[in-house]
A and B are shown apart, each in its own frame.
Chain A
Amino acid sequence: NAGVTQTPKFQVLKTGQSMTLQCAQDMNHEYMSWYRQDPGMGLRLIHYSVGAGITDQGEVPNGYNVSRSTTEDFPLRLLSAAPSQTSVYFCASSYSRTGGSYGYTFGSGTRLTVV
């Protein structure tokens, strides 16, 4: 089925470990974003991309890196995991069309625990 695929669904890391959260979409969407969701804090934007080769920081980028080498993939790298990065991470993608917007398609999320 077409959509946004995130892997893994669950992950436990030890403090200081690094890992990559994978995100892939097969809808040829230009826009892709990473959000984290914490209780009582809604969704916070980590990084986003408007196309292959172009990325930018959101409101909480520290401790995370991204790259966008293809339209389909937008991996999120945790450089040195900290307990404060325990969260649910969502990847989302959207079309870009002049004169309107189509909203995001979200992945099902990765639940990350850092111990």
Chain B
Amino acid sequence: GDSVTQMEGPVTLSEEAFLTINCTYTATGYPSLFWYVQYPGEGLQLLLKATKADDKGSNKGFEATYRKETTSFHLEKGSVQVSDSAVYFCALGPNTNAGKSTFGDGTTLTVKP
């Protein structure tokens, strides 16, 4: 079945550091890929998405590129801020082949001033 593997956390960075959170997936077909962010005490929010190979999703300074050859969708940001401290989830779908989504376990990011 479908699965998502995220790099284990927690990740602690200093403000203005470069961020990479790795995400690889296993899926049949060509799923859409997503990153979600969850701030403390809140629900998940869609951060960015990519729907086909080589697509780059971007939002709020975050970027991720859909790499079909390596089945990866790594999240990057060039300069993190304290306000980026949150839990980040990589996910497959939902798409028209399956009405459900598969999530990674989440990576907790803490940014220190």
Contacts and interface: CB of A to CB of B under 8 A. Distances in A.
Interface stretch (A14-22, A75-83, A96-104): A96-104
Contacts, number: 77
A43 interface: yes
Interface stretch (B17-25, B67-75, B93-101): B93-101
Interface string A3-14: 000000000000
Interface of B is mostly: loop
A94 B34 CA distance: 13
Given A101-B51, A101-B93, A31 B44 contact: no
Interface size class of B (residues with CB under 8 A): 20 to 34
Interface of A: 30-31, 33, 35, 40-43, 45, 48-50, 56, 58, 90, 92, 94, 96-109
B58 interface: no
A103 B34 CA distance: 7
